[in-house]
């Protein structure tokens, strides 16, 4: 996103999805938005009222009718971008919206770049950078909890947390610098013990925020549950039971599954991907060996593992070793309960439809343990990187203070930590940061 005098341009773009639909919405924003639109919408009054809707027919420069439309007008300072803005609701034909956009460009507008409306909202102080990024998260959300968390951030939930940390960090830094300035007079603005207590509290708050990225990643990308175990224990049958459809091929021949088979469900507001893997055993078959390698790779990418064993045979010593080697959250599940006396533990049968609820309940319990709904979590890798850096610098400053390091050096660490916080909020930025943020937006947002 290039800065400078491009912000003076009046821009236009289709803000609804391309293709056929009931309506299409075209957004126009900038100092000449009303002037440019009036060349098509001659029915608009000389001094329209903000947040009013006007109905009429758009006409080309040659007085040819384009479409009957509704135009919403937003005065400067009262719009999403902070600029004078109009939103034209026309019939949802690409031919109609395309002609309107061409007429607008001929009337002094230019086509907007990716994310340029949101970029202008940020530059005009209508939102901070976290809120701007949350719009993209909201647009791209696929699961209810992901959308809810993005909306929280759009409303300023995460920003408020970071602003409070920033404010307290500035307080600590100011008092520490005052102590340096008045050291020759033997005066202290705040005691070292008080400052250390405050900084340690801030360090703990940042640590909690940074650790929330794990939950945020699950909200954004979904939870991956991998079904792992030896051959012929019924993993594929259980996958079919979980998904409620015959997704995986099932047979009595050991080693039938040779590649990853997966499917998705939404559980507790989170997208969950279930992955069936090839049974792990020694094999000379090159295709089966490749499938087993892919199984090991899928295991490494799992958030939760269902280790499946044949309940009628019991858990072998080799299977116990396999379970011991799994580092992710793992649940050991006995299958084929219809062929064995029920024992302690989690026992199911792939041919009992009611057992599907047992398996889904295990995933639901795992998700609920995160308590995602009750807190603001990090969804964005940029936020994680910067807050993680700020946390390490704050932790370093606390260590330096305990060890009696020079206050000048402690101030350096604190200033750097403060700068990272301000980069998250967008109080400090450069073109590279903004390019990274807005390049993923769609045109018209």
Condensed to tens digits (0 to 9), the pLDDT of residues 78-106 reads 999 999 999 999 999 999 999 999 999 99
Q: How many CA within 13 A on the CB side of residue 38? A: 10
Q: What was the pLDDT predicted at 287? A: 45
Give the HSE-up count for residue 247: Cα atoms under 13 Å, Cβ half-sphere: 20
On the question of pLDDT at 253 being above 50, the answer is no
Domain 222-372 has CATH 3.40.50.300: yes
Average pLDDT value over all residues in the chain: 87
pLDDT of residue 382: 92
Q: Which CATH architecture has domain 4-128?
A: 2-Layer Sandwich (3.30)
Q: How far apart are CA 178 and CA 174, in angstroms?
A: 6
Contact 152, 161 (CB under 8 A): no
Q: Any residues with CB less than 8 A from the CB of 76 and at least 6 apart, and which?
A: 82, 83, 84
CATH fit for domain 141-212+377-426, picks 1.20.120.430, 2.40.10.340, 3.40.50.970, 3.30.460.10: 1.20.120.430
Confidence of residue 256 (pLDDT cuts 50, 70, 90): very low
Alpha-carbon span 28 to 110, nearest angstrom = 10
pLDDT number for residue 183 = 59
How many angstroms separate the CA atoms of 303 and 188, rounded?
51
pLDDT of residue 113: 92
pLDDT digit string (tens) for 65-81? 999 999 999 999 999 99
Residue 5 DSSP one-character state: G
Cα four-point dihedral sign 348, 354, 359, 364? negative
**Whole-number pLDDT of residue 430:** 80
pLDDT band at 269 (very low <50, low <70, confident <90, very high): confident
Q: Which residue has the tokens 């398996």?
A: 359
**382-419 pLDDT per residue, tens:** 999 999 999 999 999 999 999 988 888 999 999 999 99
Domain extents in the chain: 4-128, 141-212+377-426, 222-372
Q: Which stretches of 218-343 are assigned E, i.e. beta strand?
A: 223-229, 261-267, 270-276, 304-310, 329-335
* Pairing, β 110-111 against β 329-335: unpaired
Range list of β-strands (E), 104-258: 110-111, 223-229
Query: Can you give the pLDDT at residue 185?
Result: 59
Q: What's the chain's length in residues?
A: 445
What's the pLDDT band for 293 if we cut at 50, 70, 90?
A: low
pLDDT tens profile 326-379: 888 999 999 998 887 766 789 999 899 999 999 999 999 998 887 666 678 899
Please say if the pLDDT value at position 186 is more than 80: no
């Amino acid at each position: 996103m290039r800065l400078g005098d491009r912000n003076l341009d009046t821009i236009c773009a289709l803000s609804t999805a391309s293709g056929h639909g009931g309506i299409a919405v075209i957004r126009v924003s900038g100092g000449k938005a009303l002037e440019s639109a009036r060349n098509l919408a001659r029915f608009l009054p000389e001094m329209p009222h903000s947040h009013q809707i006007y109905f009429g027919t758009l006409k080309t420069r040659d007085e040819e009718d384009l479409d009957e439309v509704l135009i919403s007008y937003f005065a400067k300072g009262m719009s999403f971008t902070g600029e004078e803005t109009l939103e034209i609701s026309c019939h949802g034909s690409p031919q109609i919206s395309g002609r309107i956009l061409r007429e607008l460009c001929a009337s002094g507008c230019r086509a907007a770049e990716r994310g340029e409306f949101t970029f202008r909202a940020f530059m005009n102080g209508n939102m901070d950078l976290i809120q701007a990024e949350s719009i993209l998260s909201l647009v791209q959300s696929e699961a209810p909890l992901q959308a809810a968390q993005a909306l929280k951030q759009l409303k300023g939930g995460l920003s408020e947390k970071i602003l409070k940390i920033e404010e307290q960090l500035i307080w600590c830094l100011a008092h520490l610098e005052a102590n340096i300035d008045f050291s020759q007079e033997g005066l202290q603005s705040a005691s070292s013990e008080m400052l250390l207590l405050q900084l340690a509290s801030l360090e703990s708050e940042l640590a909690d925020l940074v650790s929330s990225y794990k939950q945020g990643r699950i909200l954004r990308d979904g939870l991956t549950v991998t079904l792992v175990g030896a051959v012929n224990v019924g993993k594929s049958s259980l996958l079919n039971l979980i998904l409620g459809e015959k997704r995986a091929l099932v047979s009595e021949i050991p080693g039938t599954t040779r590649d990853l088979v997966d499917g998705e469900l939404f559980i507790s507001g989170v997208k969950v991907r279930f992955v069936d893997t090839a049974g792990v055993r020694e094999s000379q078959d090159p295709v089966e060996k490749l499938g087993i390698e892919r199984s090991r790779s899928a295991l490494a990418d799992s958030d939760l593992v269902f280790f499946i064993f044949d309940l009628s045979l019991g858990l072998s010593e080799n299977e116990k070793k396999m379970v011991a080697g799994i580092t992710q959250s793992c649940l050991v599940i006995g299958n084929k309960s219809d062929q064995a006396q029920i024992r302690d533990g989690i026992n199911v049968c792939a041919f009992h439809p009611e057992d599907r609820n047992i398996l889904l309940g295990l995933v639901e319990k795992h998700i609920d343990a995160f308590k995602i709904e009750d807190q603001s979590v990090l969804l964005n890798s940029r936020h994680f990187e910067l807050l993680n850096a700020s946390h390490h610098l704050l932790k370093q400053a606390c260590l330096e203070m305990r060890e009696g390091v020079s206050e000048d050096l402690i101030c350096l660490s604190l200033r750097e930590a403060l700068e990272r916080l301000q980069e998250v909020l967008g109080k400090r930025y450069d073109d590279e940061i903004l390019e990274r943020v807005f390049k993923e937006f769609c045109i018209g947002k």
